[in-house]
Structure 1
Amino acid sequence: MASSSSSSLRVSRGTRELHRLLQQSVDLRGLDLEGFRRWLTQQLPFWEADPAFAQRARIRDLRRAHPELLALERALRRATAADEASPQAPRLLQVEEELSRVEKALAGLGDALTRAGPEKQTGLQRKLSGFQDRQRVLLREQALLTQASPPRQELLRLRAEWQRLRSLLGLERAEAELAELLLHQGRRSGNAGGSFEQQALSLTWHSIVPGLARNGATARLRVLTGVGLGAARTELDQLLIRQPLRPGQPVEVLALVEVKRNLNDLAHGFRRRQENLAWFKGDSGHYDAQLYRTRYFRSGHFDREAVHEQDGERFVFTRDSFRLFRREPVGESFLRRLFFITRAGTLLGVSAAAMARIRHRVSTDERWRLQDDASLLALLRWCQSLAEPLESPDVLRLYCSVPGLARQVLVLHRDR
């Protein structure tokens, strides 16, 4: 294992580091029922420390404790189906949609009136009065249609009872608190992502560029970020390129660097970059041209020059820019020159997005119980269904299988 360090950043790479990650993995794809139960038992205290998870679990347990709420929701579903089948339903839906549009228009005109000068007040007031008249007509029609529809009356009665019970139980307040927690978490996550990307960019210059520079010469090397080239599905985190000797000529791509904050997302990046590299090289048997069609690439193929602009410079790309990328003889993947920068963690055999879905289901599913074999087995099977044919443990094994390539996966460790 090779490591580099600073006061706040440690980086590991090489076969020993990847083997260590693989040995410490908990691959959900291969767990049996008891193994899954043990894993969940270990995870629950960590998940419950997350305020959003804990709040979802409180809502779940509150709902579990009140079967009358669940019965009322079942009755509401039946009443909704009966209402939708009633003769008045189509017109009621049209009236509701038009009322929504009228209410938005009234709100907009009200705002405009507060800001408008005297010369515009009369015209705006006339429009406002017209919409108010239309609203009164629609409300009268809605009332008459409702009066003629027993299914709609029953639906409204049950809906009011459901809202009253939710308020009484504190569910509305609990859900509002959850929404606030999620809003704050989203803001913090965005800030953390930017910090990690900056660390990864510094690491590329420090640990990847020197190994690819000719005789240590870096004057013509650039690390480009957020490269899309006017194509679909090709938002590349980093491209290490060599500028041409003559301005305006195509660049030479030395490496593609995929940056993933979560170790379990390597496979998603790997799968997408395999497809992207096939597209860049014109290997049409390994991508769907329909998915790559844009206004610039009308054919869906990389068949013309593309330009990336960064820091006031223009960088031209053609298929020849990617000529250094070649498939491995075994497995036919693009491995050489495809680098990954990620953070240390536990390999789980599913992506971070899948793990988020698992945590969400555990915190919200009113049916599952840790000690109930049937419900736990159903949860395990569902979790395993979220795995893709190739996941992050498989990617690390690929890089370990070719001598020297394990160094292309750089693992950042948390600050000391």
Structure 2
Amino acid sequence: MAHARDFSSSPSVDGSTVAGRAAIDSLLMESNVERPFESEESFAQWVQTSYRRWSLDPTISEQLRILDLETVHEDVLSRASQRLVRAQEEYASCPAGSIIDGLRDKVSKLRMECQGRERQNLAASNGDAALLNSAGEKNQKSSERLQAAYAELDGLTRDLESKISSCAEWKELQDAEKALLDLRREVGIEEASMRMKESERAIGRQTSYKGFDFEGQAERVVKELILPRFLADAESWWDQERSAMRTSGADVPVEQFDMKNIFVLRGLTLGIARGEFDYVIVAKSTMPSGELDAPAGKSVGGHPQPTKAQLQGLSEQPVLVLAIVEVKRNVNDMGSNFMGYVERIAWFSGMERGYDPTKFATNFYRSGHFDRPFWHSDACSRKSFKFDRSSFRLFFQDAKRVSARDDLAAYVMERLNFVTRHGTIRGMSSKAEASLKKKVARDKAFARARSDCNKDAFSPGMETLLAASCSWVHGWWEKMEELKAGEMSTEDLLLSYRRSEGAVDNIYLIVNQ
């Protein structure tokens, strides 16, 4: 295995990235480390102290505001909602209801068909003049079909309007829906709901952090700092190939195979049932072969596989995986996902003691094992890369010594790199915390307690009221314990990397300057 350069003695690798022990110590010692799962009491205390921070989240603050408004106006909203439920039930049971719904469906589909035909006719009319002349009869028939479709649409629309005008249940349903919507607008719920949805969309659109290009910097770390550390493994493999060629009497290529045979692949799945790797650094063989650039067979996960005819006489060697890199914007997602990475790498390596094949069975891998080659198509290089179990042989080179899951993890750590940024270590993944703060924001008992005190969610002392008004602790504690079962905390993961001489340099911390 390539020995990683010792970055631990230096606080910075390239001016904006810290690696090794320096990175781990910075995360563990310079950041706050929270431990909410030490006991049920510590969990309750952690939720209370986290409430003020959660309430600053735009999406959560709007959810809290909505629940406050719904609680204050509970009586009138309840009456309007009950009216709507009655109207829906009466409409669903009336004879005209099913007829109206059927007509509405037909009108909608026919209107879409007419719009599609119009676009086709418009595209045809803007085509080449010579082609238009030769396709005149065809275009004429298309126009006639469009006219017939519009005539049918007019007839269906008249039938629909007639049925609606004579259906009292339909009118009551529309009135009830409008009354509830008007009420929600009047008390401010609709406005808050729109702000909440916009906040959710804004989070989805975020690609940078305060103007800092984290993803771009992470990619540079992968290519400029991580890749060179594992190059010796590729060079050793290429030397073995050249020696084998000399022994067999074959001509050894004069061309030097160096970085042109190293590739960084993104979003690698290899047809696995779930999950992917952010970056995989691979080396291609130097052996002459009929390289397969354009597989033409069945596509698996967007990656076409070669046909039997394409494989005929092909001698392409599988790639060699040198390292895997996971990029985590939120440091808390490192630990929660780690054991999943270990399981997937064990699966790719054929280390059967490390995974349950029933969890990995797909239409492509019917046995639940990685027992057939997979060709990954890379859009950047426009090449196809062949993977099989041998591609992952560097992860468990001393397989006989691997006897337990912890042993698997120790081996995986030596080639699994993490790139992250500063942040408080919360003791749970971002997904788990997001679920928890939504529970707080939607807790009706907490909202009623605020209303009884004539307070809103943002009044001073609400974190204390949260604990006093809700019997949430035990149930949520059990749920969160269940969610984190089988996971490793980020704190424990960082400590494990720090203790491992072969893995300590695989942690990279990007400093937002």
Asked if 1:243 is matched to 2:287, the reply is no
* 8 A Cα contact 1:263 1:392, kept in partner: no
Structure-to-structure mapping, 1:79-94, within 5 angstroms: 79=86, 82-83=89-90, 87-88=93-94, 92=97
Counterpart in the other structure of 1:304: 372
Counterpart in the other structure of 1:137: 159
Counterpart in the other structure of 1:332: 407
* 8 A Cα contact 2:417 2:507, kept in partner: yes
> How far apart, CA to CA, are the structure 2 residues paired with 1:215 and 1:109?
62
Asked if 1:362 is matched to 2:384, the reply is no
> How far apart, CA to CA, are the structure 1 residues paired with 2:279 and 2:158?
58
Match of 1:321, SS state, is: helix
> How far apart, CA to CA, are the structure 1 residues paired with 2:76 and 2:143?
50
Counterpart in the other structure of 1:187: 205
Asked if 1:411 is matched to 2:490, the reply is no
Counterpart in the other structure of 1:269: 337
Q: Which amino acid aligns with 1:278?
A: A
Count of paired positions: 406
Structure 1 residue 246: deviation in Å?
0.7
Residues 122-159 of structure 1: per-residue CA shift (max 9 Å, x gap): 43232122123224334544666x54x6xx88765543
Relative distance call for 1:28 and 1:93 in structure 2 (3 A) is farther
Higher-Rg member (1/2): 2
* 8 A Cα contact 2:346 2:408, kept in partner: no
- Report the more deviating stretch, 215-224 or 300-309: 215-224
* 8 A Cα contact 1:293 1:301, kept in partner: no
Match of 2:281, SS state, is: strand
List 4+ stretches of structure 1 deviating above 6 A. 190-194
- Report the more deviating stretch, 114-123 or 313-322: 114-123
Q: Point out where structure 1 has 5 or more consecutive residues left out of the alignment.
A: none
Counterpart in the other structure of 2:347: 279
Counterpart in the other structure of 1:68: 75
Relative distance call for 1:300 and 1:76 in structure 2 (3 A) is farther
> How far apart, CA to CA, are the structure 1 residues paired with 2:262 and 2:64?
51
Match of 2:323, SS state, is: strand
* 8 A Cα contact 1:72 1:162, kept in partner: no
Among candidates 484, 501, 506, match of residue 388 of structure 1: 484
> How far apart, CA to CA, are the structure 2 residues paired with 1:101 and 1:235?
42
Residues 4-59 of structure 1: per-residue CA shift (max 9 Å, x gap): 2444x132422882595288321332364576446544552x44444433333332
Residues 288-327 of structure 1: per-residue CA shift (max 9 Å, x gap): 34644144x4444322222234313333221111112127
Among candidates 54, 66, 70, match of residue 59 of structure 1: 66
Relative distance call for 1:204 and 1:16 in structure 2 (3 A) is closer
Q: TM-score, normalised by structure 1?
A: 0.80
Relative distance call for 1:175 and 1:381 in structure 2 (3 A) is same
Structure 1 residue 406: deviation in Å?
3.3
Superposition RMSD in Å: 3.8
Match of 1:29, SS state, is: coil
Q: Which amino acid aligns with 2:422?
A: A
Structure 1 residue 250: deviation in Å?
1.6
Structure-to-structure mapping, 1:37-56, within 5 angstroms: 37=45, 40-41=48-49, 44=52, 46-56=53-63
* 8 A Cα contact 1:193 1:261, kept in partner: no
Counterpart in the other structure of 1:353: 431
Q: TM-score, normalised by structure 2?
A: 0.67
> How far apart, CA to CA, are the structure 1 residues paired with 2:107 and 2:466?
52
* 8 A Cα contact 1:56 1:364, kept in partner: yes
> How far apart, CA to CA, are the structure 2 residues paired with 1:92 and 1:190?
50
Residues 201-236 of structure 1: per-residue CA shift (max 9 Å, x gap): 221234333333329966343322222234432522
Among candidates 84, 99, 106, match of residue 104 of structure 2: 99
Among candidates 256, 276, 292, match of residue 324 of structure 2: 256
Relative distance call for 1:19 and 1:384 in structure 2 (3 A) is farther
Q: Point out where structure 2 has 5 or more consecutive residues left out of the alignment.
A: 1-7, 126-138, 236-257, 289-315, 451-462
> How far apart, CA to CA, are the structure 2 residues paired with 1:183 and 1:380?
33
- Report the more deviating stretch, 74-83 or 178-187: 74-83
Counterpart in the other structure of 1:209: 227
Match of 2:407, SS state, is: coil
Relative distance call for 1:342 and 1:34 in structure 2 (3 A) is closer
Match of 2:12, SS state, is: strand
Q: Which amino acid aligns with 1:396?
A: L
Residues 223-265 of structure 1: per-residue CA shift (max 9 Å, x gap): 2222223443252211222322314212221222222211111
